[in-house]
Amino acid sequence: MKSYTKYSEINRYLNQGTFSCFDVVSFYLKNIKEKSHLNAFLSVYEDEALARAKEIDEKLKNGTAGKLAGLVVGLKDVISYKGHPLQAGSKILDSYISPYNATVVERLLKEDAIIIGRQNCDEFAMGSSNENSSFGPVLNPVNAECVPGGSSGGSAVAVASDMCQVALGSDTGGSVRQPAAFCGVVGLKPTYSRISRHGLIAYGSSFDCIGILAKNVEDISLVLSVIAGQDQFDSTVSHKPVPEYFSMLRTKKKFKICCISNINESPTLQTEIKVALNKSIKQLIDSNHEIHYSDLPLLEYVLPTYYILATAEASCNLSRFDGVRYGYRSSNTKDIMSMYFKTRSEGFGAEVKRRILLGTFVLSSDYYDSYYLKAQKVRQLIRNQVKELLKDYDFILMPTTTTTAFKLGEHNTNPLEMYLSDLYSVQANVAGLPAVSFPYGKDDTGLPIGLQLLADEDEETKLFQLTNQLIET
């Protein structure tokens, strides 16, 4: 079997009997073994995936297979899969086995998707390079000296390297879109509340979204229609009907697109990315779409607002990892207090501890009003400003990242430099809006360039339509 870009091609050949689900799974397992040096997978469910493939082959023969029959999916190591390890890339969850399925996993399995393994990520999804994992860094498949982006780096690498057809990641501040840009694949961060977070290990609960990575918009649209929608286990999930996104990918509608002047003209934006952005604008104009320019006055406050609020939420969410009920527990303890201190000190990595401390600081009584409360107010102002723009325009077009993939270790000595790599991706999370990153050319060294589109709430259909045009043309 060869590599296929789209699941629709695989599905057609499965139904024709050209090859079987067993062949499909075997193909991906072979690639996982051959490319193990990229460190994308933490666990591979080889026997289980092959056994499930045989079951689905029988369903295909009987005409009872689900709409995702034979779709091979990888899970970022923050999404629960019953009876399988779940560690969030952290030592503190050593030996933890998930007792239940995340809602997204339950829905994938119901439609006969095949879960092939657990994918490496930055510890507790905190990072922009996938160098913070307790299991070592993931390597970029285009250039192994570069990072794949984070925190869903393992998921992006697996899709880009034909280790699975689709992967589910999480996007708290760009953690699906940034690795998608660095690895040359498509990454969707949906509207906050579009997909249930039940079974997702929490980092920043008001920002976290389960996202989808694939090589094309078709696969993402198909998977989103399956996993989105209301869920009794998540009170924050939207109750709005879920469209059949896949059937609405093609449109002749002409859109109005806004470009942010103070991003396009930024001196920090890599030259090749600026060229790619201008090329995409020309392509849109040539296709008779409208392009307009506008400033976003609060742009400089987006990143600090995100890091104040996300670290505050992280310090609360991660308080549950204390060594008492599950996971790692320090053996070098004398009493209950030393057990708490040593377990968390030994179990968490440096970046996670840094963010817990930052979050605890901004929530402290002396600084709550000055930092946390003020950041909440600024967040609402940013959201209002972006939504006001989207009253006049269908989309905001911008780069996904300021640079292409950087070298391993390049920003490790300066956390601020690492945080700045999220400059253009956090906006969608702060505003709670959907965004999709798509590959658009390469830089002078052959590294992929990613651009992204933002739309208003629950307008994923339009996002897919325009992204599909930009990729296919």
Q: Is the dihedral of CA 350, 399, 307, 189 positive or negative?
A: negative
From CA 374, how far away is CA 371, in angstroms rounded? 5
Longest distance between any two alpha carbons in the chain, whole Å: 71
Q: Is 151 part of the annotated catalytic residue set?
A: yes
Listed in sequence order, the residues at least 6 apart from 57 whose beta carbon sits closer than 8 Å to its beta carbon are 20, 21, 22
Helices (H) and strands (E) in the chain, counts: 16, 11
From CA 260, how far away is CA 381, in angstroms rounded? 17
Q: Is 128 part of the annotated catalytic residue set?
A: no
Helix axes 299-317, 350-363, angle to 10 degrees: 100
Which amino acid type is present at position 191?
T
From CA 145, how far away is CA 132, in angstroms rounded? 16
Beta strands at 448-454 and 435-442: parallel, antiparallel or unpaired: antiparallel
Q: What are phi and psi of 90, to 5 degrees?
A: -125, 145
Residue from 76, 189, 215, 462 carrying the catalytic annotation: 76
Residue from 80, 175, 196, 238 carrying the catalytic annotation: 175
Q: Which pair of structure tokens corresponds to residue 336?
A: 């209950």
Q: Is 76 part of the annotated catalytic residue set?
A: yes
Residue from 20, 151, 193, 221 carrying the catalytic annotation: 151
Omega of the bond prior to 151 within 30 degrees of 0, cis? yes
CB atoms within 10 A of CB 243: 16
* Positions marked active-site: 76, 151, 175
